[in-house]
């Protein structure tokens, strides 16, 4: 089978445009769904960063006169039972969801990377003990373990990040370990040992960089899962406490009592959650294809 000429693809897509713009045009042409996912994530990130300038109302300010106001007028997406603007709360809620998703994914991947790298590289009794502990952790579903952790730690932003990060560790550790087991037998690792390089230096400088590609792909999938779990925890009252706006808490406050009389209180936060997870999954699939050598043929 012929090898794809990426330069030719780029030339056709961007008419000899080079640099970041040419790369973006090539990405949009070859991975249109990934480009859509990237655009969705850019919109949400920009919304979170510039929430103060975008929101027209304070998300914490109540107004009894606007209680359960339907969408339209001053409140484009309506108001909740306390008269708080739904659009402003969704905008500020993006900060909470993205902060939790990014923090939990980064922490979980960092711990899992360290555990998987050391377990796979050094092996022996250490690898045996670590893998049995990971088996125990993987016996519980992600949401169940996060519920246990959140209930133990209590509701707060930091505790929510930790409660979601710990259940993410086993999958990351397993992926890194499997790659490390194959990489530690490569000729360049043997050559590094032959010249007297320490085992720790070999692991950090030669094995770890070659495990980053699957880690990046896994991190995008874990990011979407972390946002979903945060929403579930907030829905159950174990996530970010009041008065901080959270998409999951917005659903928990409205789903049971107002789903029929004020459906916008459920629809719009649900759409926000679905959109950010959908965008993350599309972008993650594109990154997986980019980093997969088999996709180059």
Distance between first and last Cα of the chain: 7
Q: Tokens 């094995």 correspond to what residue?
A: 207
- At 2, the pLDDT band (50, 70, 90 cuts) reads very low
Indicate whether 46 pLDDT > 90: yes
Nearest to 222 by CA among 78, 70, 112, 60: 112
For the stretch 222-269, pLDDT in tens is 888 888 888 888 878 787 777 778 888 888 777 677 878 888 888 898
Higher pLDDT, 234 or 45: 45
Is 33-296 a CATH 1.10.3720.10 domain? yes
Q: What letter would DSSP give residue 70?
A: P
- Tokens found for residue 110: 């960092």
The phi and psi torsions of 72 (rounded to 5 degrees) equal 125, 165
Question: What is the residue-averaged pLDDT of the chain?
Answer: 83
Q: What letter would DSSP give residue 15?
A: S
Indicate whether 52 pLDDT > 70: yes
Quote the crossing angle between the two packed helices 247-258 and 212-235, to the nearest 10°: 40
Higher pLDDT, 17 or 285: 285
Share of the chain above pLDDT 90, in %: 15
**Confidence at residue 7, expressed as pLDDT on a 0 to 100 scale:** 46
Indicate whether 14 pLDDT > 70: no
- Tokens found for residue 121: 């590289």
Instruction: Tell me what the mean pLDDT of segment 269-297 comes to.
Output: 80
Instruction: Tell me what the mean pLDDT of segment 275-285 comes to.
Output: 88
For the stretch 95-136, pLDDT in tens is 888 888 899 999 999 999 999 888 888 878 888 998 899 988
Q: What's the pTM value of the predicted model, to 2 decimals?
A: 0.80
What span, in angstroms and rounded, lies between the C-alpha atoms of 182 and 214? Answer: 14
Q: Write down the domain spans for the chain.
A: 1-30, 33-296
């Amino acid at each position: 089978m012929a090898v794809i000429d990426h330069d030719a693809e780029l030339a056709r897509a961007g008419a000899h445009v080079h640099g970041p713009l040419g790369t973006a045009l090539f990405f949009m042409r070859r991975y249109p769904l990934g480009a859509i996912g990237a655009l969705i994530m850019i919109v949400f990130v920009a919304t979170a960063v510039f929430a103060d300038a975008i929101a027209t109302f304070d998300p914490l300010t109540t107004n009894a006169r606007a209680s359960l106001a339907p969408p339209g007028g001053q409140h484009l997406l309506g108001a909740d039972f306390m008269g708080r603007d739904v659009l402003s709360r969704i905008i500020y809620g993006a900060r909470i969801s993205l902060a939790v998703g990014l923090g939990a994914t980064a922490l979980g991947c960092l711990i899992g990377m360290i555990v998987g790298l050391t377990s796979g590289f050094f092996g022996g009794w250490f690898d045996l003990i670590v893998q049995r502990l990971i088996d125990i952790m993987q016996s519980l579903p992600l949401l169940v373990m996060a519920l246990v952790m959140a209930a133990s730690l209590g509701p707060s932003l930091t505790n929510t990040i930790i409660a979601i990060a710990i259940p993410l560790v086993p999958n990351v550790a397993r992926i890194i370990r499997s790659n490390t087991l194959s990489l530690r037998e490569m000729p360049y690792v043997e050559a590094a040992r032959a010249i007297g390089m320490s085992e720790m230096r070999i692991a950090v400088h030669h094995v770890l960089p070659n495990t980053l590609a699957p880690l990046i792909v896994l991190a995008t999938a874990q990011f979407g899962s972390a946002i979903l779990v945060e929403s579930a925890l907030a829905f159950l009252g174990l996530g970010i406490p009041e008065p901080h706006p959270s998409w999951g808490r917005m659903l928990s406050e409205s789903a049971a009592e107002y789903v029929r009389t004020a459906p916008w209180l459920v629809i719009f936060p649900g759409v926000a959650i679905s959109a950010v997870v959908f965008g993350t999954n599309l972008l993650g699939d594109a990154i997986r294809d980019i980093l997969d050598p088999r996709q180059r043929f």
